[in-house]
Structure 1
Amino acid sequence: MGSGVEMDWLWWVGAALLLGLVEIISLDLVLIMLAGGSLAAAGVNAAGGPLWLQIVAFAVVSVILLLTLRPWLLRHLRSRVPLTETNVAAHVGRTALAVDRVSEFGGRVKLVGEVWT
C-alpha cells in the first residue's frame, strides 16, 4: 500500500458510488451525471493531477453530461415508458362515495372499492 495521497482517487470513486445510489431513489438523472463528473475527477487524480484540476474536471464533465446526455436520456425513457400516475395522483378527478360525514376535519369515502379517510 502506498501513502494516502496515492489513494485519494478512491474518495472520488466513493462519491460517485454514493451519488449513484441516491440516484436510484430520486430517478431524476441529475445525480448520476454528477457521479460521472466524480469518476472524471478520480481519473485526473489517478493520473497525478492537482486538486484544482480534479475540481475543474468534475465540474466540466458534470455540466457536459447534464446538458447533453441527460436530456437525451429523458426523451428516450419517456418515449419507451408511458407515464403512469400512482398513489394520490392516480385518484384525482375520480368520483367517491361518502361513507361517513366528510368535513375539513375528517370523514370517510369509498373510492375504487377501498375506504379512505
Structure 2
Amino acid sequence: MNDIDAWVWWLVAAVALGIPLVVTAMPEFGMLAVGAVAAAAASGVGAGTVAQVLVFVAVSVALIAVVRPIAARHRAQRPQLATGIDALKGRQAVVTERVDGAGGRIKLAGEVWSARALDTARAYEVGQQVDVVDIEGATAIVI
C-alpha cells in the first residue's frame, strides 16, 4: 500500500466508524473516527505507517480520555430550566371552585385547571392557595 492509498484507507475507516456512531449513538465511535481522520492527515503529509497508527491511537485515546467524561457529566445533569408540566409542579395556585378528592378547579399560571386533592379526605375552598404536587393528564394534584 503506497502513501497515496493510505490516506484513502484511513478515510474509509473513519466513515466505517461513523456508521455505528449514527446507529448506536455511542460517541466513542465518533472519537475513533476523528482519530482515523487525523491518521489520514498524517498520511497525507507523508508520515509512515507506524506514525499513522500512533497518530490514530493518540488522537483517539486523547479524545476518549478528555471528551467522554465531559459528555457523561453533561448527560447526567438535569436541565436547569423546567418546561411544560414539569414547570408547573411545585407552583402555587388559587382555588376557583371547591377542590376535594373528586375534583374541582384552580387557577394555575394564569389558566384554569381541573384539580383534585392528593388527600381525598381534604377539601379546599374558593380563594384558598394550594400547592401543585403533580399533573396527571389535564388534572393538577394539589395539597
TM-score relative to the length of structure 2: 0.50
Q: Which has the higher strand share?
A: 2
Q: Which has the higher helix share?
A: 1
Query: Percent same amino acid at aligned positions?
Result: 33
CA distance in 2, matches of 1:31, 1:57: 16
Q: Which residue of 2 aligns with 1:21?
A: 19
Instruction: For 2:36, give the aligned amino acid.
Output: S
Contact 2:42 2:55 (C-alpha < 8 Å) held by counterparts: yes
**Deviation at 1:45?**
0.1
Residue 74 of structure 2, aligned match among 73, 76, 80: 76
Residue 49 of structure 1, aligned match among 38, 41, 47: 47
**Deviation at 1:78?**
3.9
Instruction: For 2:58, give the aligned amino acid.
Output: V
Q: Which digits, 9 at most, give the CA deviation of each residue in 1:24-63, with x for residues without a partner?
A: 1222211111111101100100000000000000001110
Residue 30 of structure 1, aligned match among 10, 28, 31: 28
CA distance in 2, matches of 1:66, 1:18: 18
CA distance in 2, matches of 1:27, 1:61: 20
**Deviation at 1:77?**
3.5
2:38 equivalent to 1:40: yes
TM-score relative to the length of structure 1: 0.60
Stretches of structure 1 lacking an aligned partner (at least 5 in a row): 82-117
Contact 2:38 2:59 (C-alpha < 8 Å) held by counterparts: yes
Secondary structure of the residue aligned to 1:31 is helix
Contact 2:3 2:43 (C-alpha < 8 Å) held by counterparts: no
CA distance in 2, matches of 1:69, 1:24: 18
CA distance in 1, matches of 2:78, 2:44: 38
Asked which structure has the greater CA Rg, the reply is 2
**Deviation at 1:71?**
1.6
Contact 1:33 1:70 (C-alpha < 8 Å) held by counterparts: no
CA distance in 2, matches of 1:21, 1:35: 10
Stretches of structure 2 lacking an aligned partner (at least 5 in a row): 80-143
